[in-house]
Amino acid sequence: MSLMLRALWSYRGFVLGSVRREFQSKYRNTMLGAAWTVLSPLAMILVYTLIFSQVMQSKLPGNSTEYGYSIYLCAGVLAWGLFSEIVTRAQNMFLEQANLLKKISFPRTSLPVIVVLNALVNFGIIFGLFTAFLLLSGQFPGAVFLLLIPVLALLVMLAIGLGLVLGVLNVFFRDVGQFFTIFIQFWFWFTPIVYPASILPAEVRGLLAWNPMAAVIQACQTILVAGQAPDWASMLPALALALALCLLGMKLFRKRAGEMVDEL
């Protein structure tokens, strides 16, 4: 682990440069440039707020505030978006960087780091705007807001662990990526993001214990909507799975690194 960290630190210029180039290339040849990083998420937040709080007047069970459901929905969608972006990008990172892997010598573990940093930059912009909305609307939860840091850290661990495993498998079995693209759509709707878990039948709520993202998303929603600390014990299975996936992903990567280059 220490050797890997030292190697990543030695190539920090390569990692940061890759993140910067990808961010710049996303808005190259556009008139507004990086302004789209603000306009797109701002539009999403405004739509959710206006549609669900003003037009549909949606209410959460046990929460009568005007923006309760909008905040609940934004919290879930933004957290899921971070998870989905990391996993989706990570499962294709070795395929997308095939030429780089075959021609240049660099720490291969920098690729997952680049994926995570890119996703965090995008998430940071969107979540910063959402935080500004919470402050302006008087819905900011206070100091409990800082509890999002360990929750999001767990989310990132789970995402990159799963993404790394899928990324290695996808090099040898291309159907893996196609299958997961379909699977993650079902996974989204099996996670209480659009709906609260309390409206589900008791027998269906019991199945949520098998969904590691359910506890993580609910933790974000509890912090941002209720202004309360989440149920940490409910996230222990997700933590155990995240650690197991990270270890499995690294083991697969180290064992198959040479074969991956040949396959690519």
**pLDDT above 70: residue 99:** yes
Complete DSSP assignment for 232-249: GGGGHHHHHHHHHHHHHH
pLDDT for residue 105: 66
Q: CA–CA separation, 177 vs 200, rounded Å?
A: 31
Question: What's 63's DSSP letter?
Answer: B
pLDDT at 62: 67
pLDDT tens digits, one per residue of 27-61: 666 655 556 666 766 677 677 666 765 555 556 66
Instruction: Flag the least confident range among 37-41, 69-73, 194-198, 253-257.
Output: 37-41
Q: Residue 160: name the closest of 58, 247, 33 by CA.
A: 247
User: How do the domains of the chain map onto residue ranges?
Assistant: 2-263
4-18, 222-236, 243-257: the lowest-pLDDT one: 4-18
Confidence grade of residue 11 (pLDDT, cut at 50, 70, 90): low
Tell me the average pLDDT across 95-115. 76
pLDDT digits (tens, 9 = 90+) for 202-241: 888 888 889 999 999 999 999 999 899 999 999 999 999 9
Distances, alpha carbon 263 to alpha carbons 111, 171, 174, 259, in Å: 18, 7, 11, 6
Q: What is the pLDDT of residue 146?
A: 96
What is the model's pLDDT at position 247? 92
Q: What is the pLDDT of residue 176?
A: 86
| Element spanning 203, H or E | helix 202-207
Is the model's pLDDT at 136 over the cut of 80?
yes
Q: What is the mean pLDDT of residues 245-257?
A: 86
Looking at per-residue pLDDT, the higher value among 38 and 135 belongs to: 135
Q: What pLDDT is recorded for position 221? A: 93
